[in-house]
Amino acid sequence: MSAIVDKKVVVTGGAGFLGSFLCERLEEAGAGELFVPRIEDYDLTEPEAVKQMYRDAEPDTVIHLAAQVGGIGANRENPGRYFYANMAMGLHLIEEARKHNLGKFVQIGTVCAYPKFAPVPFREDDLWNGYPEETNAPYGIAKKALLVMLQAYRQQYNLNGIYLLPVNLYGPRDNFDLESSHVIPALIRKFVTARDEQAPQVTAWGTGSASREFLYVEDAARAIVMATESYNGEQPVNIGTSREITIRDLVELIASLTGYEGEVLWDTSKPDGQPRRKLDTTRAGQLFDFEAEVDLEDGLRKTIDWWESHD
């Protein structure tokens, strides 16, 4: 039986970056009714608000995307808030799912949950083989605890909860606020501004040696819909491209695509974060036939075009 077709589906974080694309995909897949709880109406860190949300929405399926999250700087400034908010939201949502005999709960995890020195590519079986990278460990551990909760609730209460681990996302509608954005939108904004103002230099964080894997947002939305429809297991599943790029090469690529011709300075007093990040995506292919379609250069072009039309 479908977890989407003609079903009432709650998407927490559905008004956000990934959520907006996911809601479009769910409608295309035949969702009966979509309910997106807004923070002004439902503070999901509060148990009473979560109870009210379940009463109001009467969902068959919950896809939990909502998170308090940011880049390295924001994580360093808000470790306590990021741990509490992410832990509390998932805790209350999963407990109420049990009480309401929910048909399916889909938890979106984070690649930040992986150990700092996990063997590359990251395999789901390595999730517990070390401590996460320190700058985002509170966030990563809070999200990883929800995997344990879902597995325990499956075992004791037969709650059908699945756990997906998307790699770093990017694309149109992303957060381009320099104070809280992730690396790709921050770089696009910096280089477009520097190009338009004919600035001679742009400063990038770190040494450029760290590597990252990036997944285009529409690919991520498609993967979540595929998993919601056809995956019902307890094992966490990576969602990504299984291709990595160094930050230095990424910076040069974005500079080129935005037409910036000045100099790039590297502020090596700033942290690089996790040394490498690349996922093994075998499990997603085997369990629900997902494979990323948009390559990085094409995705970056689409993202730059969107920012330039909305700047």
151 CB neighbour count, 10 Å cutoff = 16
DSSP 119: P
Peptide bond just before 275 cis, omega within 30 deg: no
Instruction: Write the Ramachandran bin of 70: left for phi over 0, alpha for psi from -120 to 50, otherwise beta.
Output: beta
With CA atoms as reference, report the closest residue to 258 among 308, 205, 311. Answer: 308
Q: Report the distance separating Cα 116 and Cα 277, nearest Å.
A: 9
Residue 131 annotated to the active site: no
CA 53, CA 133: separation in Å to the nearest integer?
Answer: 34
Which listed residue (139, 163, 231, 260) is catalytic? 139
Which H or E run includes 51? helix 47-57
Rg from Cα positions in the chain: 19
- Alpha carbon distance 240, 280 (integer Å): 8
Question: Which residues are bridge partners to 33 per DSSP?
Answer: 8
| Cα angle 299-304-310, degrees, rounded to a multiple of 5 | 130
> Known catalytic residues?
139
